[in-house]
Chains A and B, each alone.
Chain A
Amino acid sequence: MRLEPREHSSTRLTLMAPVAAVFVALVLCAGLILWTGENPFTAYALLFKGSLGSRFALTETLTRATPMILTGLAAAIAFRAKLWNIGGEGQFYMGALAATWLGAGVITLPPWLMIPFLVLTGAMAGGLLLLIPVILKNKLKVDEVVTTLLLNFIVLLFVSYLLEGPLRDPMSMGWPQAAPVIDEGILPPIMAKSRVHLGLFIALAAAVLVWAVMRFTVWGYEIRAVGHNVAAAAFSGISVNRTIVLTALISGGLAGIGGVGEVAGTKGYLTLDLSPGFGYAGIAVAMLAALHPLAVVLSALFLAAIYVGADSMSRALNVPTYISDVIVAVSVLSVLVSLMLTRYRIRWR
């Protein structure tokens, strides 16, 4: 077996590849569902019904997708520059922490100022956290994969300490949760009788903005150039370190905004289980979207539908909810292979 580069990879092939890959993933996971003794068609039908089949299901999926669009964008832009930011989870919590600290009554502004203020400070908190591993990478060549990963654990323990100590809500009856965000800072719901909030618009706007920056600006060009070939980028006069720092601030900032949205939009206050792994899910979202900012929106909606739908399906059938994580992981791997096959063809001989 040998791989041969294709001369052309057609746009149609590139667009079809992820869809075909997700189909393959669903077929593979059907095997696991068979093993549980349930009918895969019934299971997938229930999964679909539980994620998109009713108004409630649909709004829950949109709510779940909101932070995943943001953490997905965070991973996508960083990976474009070959900055391996696996610390989305930690940056998400830093944003949530900023929104809690500043949003719970320390400062009171009218809503039209308060909400942008919380979003900006959350973005700064997330971006600054990623700045630590990036400075270590630029100055001391410390590999950022490991440092960003380890910072997730450190941040989560720090949040746990704050929730049991300085930030604990005196009215929480001893539960480790922080005081709620004041009314002026709450992201208003955008659909009646649902949990969908302004954060969804913010996430969609961020996706368009990131796409435009990557596509049309010098910054975007430099980020892509650094990711494509560091040596060539440096040779052509791009300041690699500066570009990496800029990417880090945007990437960490986006994940931080995800945290703000969950605190000030979905939940209203900070707890230790605010995120069921949104930071890590963002990496899957980005990979499924082939790191394209607009595709991130679709891929976040798809993953959110899988998570929400699997929860509801596993209540009806004898299939553990972890099936959602398996479907996501298999989809990610098969999309990787399918995208590779749009650039190479396999020759058997």
Chain B
Amino acid sequence: MDVFEILLTGGFWAATLRIATPLIFATLGELICERAGVLNLGIEGIMTMGAMSGWMWVYMGGDLVSGVMFAAFVGGLFGLLHSQFVVYLGLSQHVSGIGITMLASALSYFVFRMLLPDATTPPKIEPFQSLPVPFLSDLPFFGPAFFNQTAMTYAAIILVFAVWYALYRTPVGLAVRMAGENPMAAEAQGIDVLAVRTGAVVVGSAFMAVGGAFLTMSAFDAFYFGMVNGRGWICVALVIFASWKPGKALIGALLFAGIDAWQVRVQQLPGVNIPYQFFLMAPYVLSILAMIIVSRKALYPKALLVPFRRGERT
């Protein structure tokens, strides 16, 4: 097998979808926040929190679906905190976001150690099982590649369309986009910009947390320290790469995951003597390259990073 034949195996495509799933959730979450004008650098910590809280819910006896809901709820709470700081108090979005990441990661590890003080080997839960789509999963090649995933992966794909529809075809979506492009005009239309931004950050953070929960409840079955490992930051890069569009975010996440799945397989080919660290660097190097390609022409939401104060010109 050579480096290109990998692309013809069903396992490669299945892995691509699996690796892309948390990125899709979290990228959509960041995209919604930024579309409303709020950068959310809490993403890395909120994903960690989602991974811990969803997993812990199931470990304590809850079922998987309510575990995902719980992760989303906790993520939303951290979004609410971030929005209080940046939307109502007008603090620097960069600084508050980094603070939220510090707080959410620290609390995740603290709570995990508190509830499981003696766990030396990470305890496991029964994660989401793969759910073959009837008929389609029997197709040769395409079946095992695309239609034998867990429920969360299908949900991620559906969510892309839902977010696209909500942003571009509903009044709420229009309000979100106005809050991020021209909050003064939105306010003149009778839209409560502060409330819209808060709502967007809460919902976006909930999605980030679900992305994190996928790691502990579907991709793996345990919570490890440092398991989010920069995925949140990669998603911030993916939002820019996707020009703040949900469809492009899906393509970006898949492209990214595809290259990641490919490098893991290339590593294992006989005759490849490149040290493994260089393969592990690939996702981070790729994110930087992606940003280099698109940044010069990137059309940031006009009011991104700009706090809005009623009755005050900026």
* Chain A residues in the interface with B (C-beta under 8 A): 1-3, 32, 35-36, 79, 84, 86, 136, 140-143, 145-147, 149-151, 153-154, 157-158, 160-161, 164-165, 280, 283-284, 287, 318, 320, 322-323, 325-326, 328-330, 332-333, 336-337, 340
CB–CB A150/B113 < 8 A: no
**Assuming the A-B contacts A35-B114, A142-B292, A146-B236, are A164 and B103 also in contact, with contact meaning beta carbons closer than 8 angstroms in the complex?**
no
Could you say which residues of chain B place their CB within 8 Å of the CB of A330? 103
Could you say which residues of chain A place their CB within 8 Å of the CB of B103? 326, 329-330, 333
CB–CB B291/A320 < 8 A: no
Q: Tell me how far the C-beta of A255 lies from the nearest C-beta in chain B, rounded to whole angstroms.
A: 16
Q: Tell me how far the C-beta of B99 lies from the nearest C-beta in chain A, rounded to whole angstroms.
A: 5
**B165 at the A interface (CB under 8 A):** no
Could you say which residues of chain B place their CB within 8 Å of the CB of A326? 103, 106-107, 110
User: Is chain A's binding surface mostly helix, strand, loop or mixed?
Assistant: helix
CB–CB A337/B117 < 8 A: no
Q: For residues 260 through 293 of chain B, which have their beta carbon under 8 Å from a beta carbon of chain A?
A: 275, 277-278, 280-281, 284-285, 287-288, 291-292
Provide the bound-state CA to CA distance between A85 and B229, in Å. 19
CB–CB B99/A332 < 8 A: yes
Total number of A-B contacts with CB less than 8 angstroms? 124
Cross-chain contact of B117 among A149, A320, A323, A325 (Cβ < 8 A): A320
CB–CB A340/B291 < 8 A: no
A–B pairs, 15, beta carbons within 8 Å: A2-B310, A3-B89, A36-B114, A140-B292, A142-B292, A143-B291, A145-B236, A154-B284, A158-B277, A283-B98, A320-B114, A325-B102, A325-B106, A336-B91, A340-B91
Instruction: Determine which residue in B98, B240, B278 has the highest number of CB atoms from chain A within 10 A of its CB, and name it.
Output: B98
Q: Tell me how far the C-beta of A194 lies from the nearest C-beta in chain B, rounded to whole angstroms.
A: 29
Provide the bound-state CA to CA distance between A199 and B298, in Å. 43
CB–CB B94/A84 < 8 A: yes
Could you say which residues of chain B place their CB within 8 Å of the CB of A145? 41, 94, 236
Q: Tell me how far the C-beta of A157 lies from the nearest C-beta in chain B, rounded to whole angstroms.
A: 4
CB–CB B89/A340 < 8 A: yes
Cross-chain contact of B234 among A3, A32, A150, A160 (Cβ < 8 A): A150
